[in-house]
Structure 1
Amino acid sequence: MGNHAGTKRQRYASSLGSAREVLACVQVAQAMRYIGTVDARVLDRMDHVIATLGRLVYRCAS
């Protein structure tokens, strides 16, 4: 939120990509059995963050 208008969308887009990457890493780690079951509330929160960032990126683009 602290960025100027010209770079704000870029920062949100970068954050969105990183959040999606983290979720994918968790899913791969589960599939490879490196980690056990992740609490559903954690996954729900991650989905919420991704959705919020998505709205910010695509709202700023229009």
Structure 2
Amino acid sequence: MTRAAAGSKLVSMQKWEYATIPLIIHSTKAILDTWGDDGWELVAVIPGPDGQNLVAYLKRPKD
């Protein structure tokens, strides 16, 4: 917990969980829509280790 800037009220920090998923180029939208329906938010897409495929980084609030 951290102190709020305006006073001595305690504020809890949002906790996150993360996922990395491979993206298949011909079905990228369908893959991301499925994860989005489960509450995941896309953070970044970068080239995979082979340089040919993509990897998506996602996050969602942790309960």
Q: Same fold, TM exceeding 0.5?
A: no
Higher relative contact order structure (alpha carbons within 8 Å, sequence separation ≥ 6): 1
Instruction: Indicate the structure with greater helix content.
Output: 1
Instruction: Indicate the structure with greater strand content.
Output: 2
Structure with max Cα Rg: 2
TM-score (norm. length: structure 1): 0.26
